[in-house]
Structure 1
C-alpha cells in the first residue's frame, strides 16, 4: 500500500490499511516516534506499543470508515479532524471523533505522528 502524497488523504489511507487486517500495512502509515491514543486516557508511543495498539484495534472485526471533517496544513505539518467507526454489517462496534497530526516525509509522502482516536469527543477532558 502506498503512503498518501497529500495530508488530506491520510484518513482514507488509514481506513484502507486497517481494512486489509495487516499490522505491517497499518504501521507503515505511522511515525512510531509519535503518539497514538487507542483508547481514551491511554496514550502510548514507541514501536512496540504502537504495534500492540494496532493489534488491539484490528481485533475489532469489521470494516473501518473514516470521514475527514477537515485537514489544515502549514508547510510539512497538518492537523486533521475525523469521524470514524468500525461496523460489522448493521452493527456499529465502535464510533468516535478523532484528531490526527500528520508530517510530510522527505520523499513527499505523509505519515501520522499523533493519532488521538477520541480527541474530539465532547466529554473528553484529557
Structure 2
C-alpha cells in the first residue's frame, strides 16, 4: 500500500488499508508514538497498544468507509474531520465522527499521529 501524498487523501487511504484486513498495512498509516482512541475514553499509544486497537477494529466484519468532512493543512501538519462506518451489507456495525491529526513525512507522504475515532461525536463532554 502506498501512503497518501496529500493530507486530504489520508481518510481514503486509511479505509482502503482497513479493508485489506492486514494489520501491517493499517499500521503503516499511523505513527505508533502518537495517540489512537479507537474506543471512547480509551486512548492508547505505542506499537503494541496500537496493534491491539487495530486488530479490534479489524475483528468487526464488514467494509469500512471514511468520508472526509474537512482537512486543513498548515505546512507539514494537518487536521481532518471524518465520518466513518463499518457496514456488512445493510447492517451498520459502527458509525462515528472522528478527528485526526496528520504529519507529513520527509518523503512527502502523510501518516496519522492522533486518531480520535469518536472525537467529533456530539455527546462527548470534557
Partners of 1:67 and 1:12 lie apart in 2 by 8
Query: Aligned residue for 2:62?
Result: 62
Q: When the two structures are superposed, what TM-score results if normalisation uses the length of structure 1?
A: 0.99
Give how far 1:97 is off. 0.1
1:71-108 Cα deviation digits (max 9, x unpaired) = 00000000000000000000000000000000000000
Tell me the SS of whatever aligns to 1:99. strand
Partners of 1:4 and 1:124 lie apart in 2 by 30
Query: Aligned residue for 1:108?
Result: 108
Query: Aligned residue for 2:123?
Result: 123
Are 1:95 and 2:95 an aligned pair?
yes
Runs of 4+, deviation exceeding 6 Å: none
Partners of 1:73 and 1:33 lie apart in 2 by 21
Tell me the SS of whatever aligns to 1:70. strand
Partners of 1:100 and 1:26 lie apart in 2 by 15
Q: When the two structures are superposed, what TM-score results if normalisation uses the length of structure 2?
A: 0.99
Supply the RMSD in Å over aligned alpha carbons: 0.5
User: Gapped runs of 5+ residues in structure 2?
Assistant: none
Partners of 1:124 and 1:22 lie apart in 2 by 31
Give how far 1:41 is off. 0.4
Query: Aligned residue for 1:85?
Result: 85
Query: Aligned residue for 1:11?
Result: 11
Are 1:34 and 2:29 an aligned pair?
no
Give how far 1:125 is off. 1.6
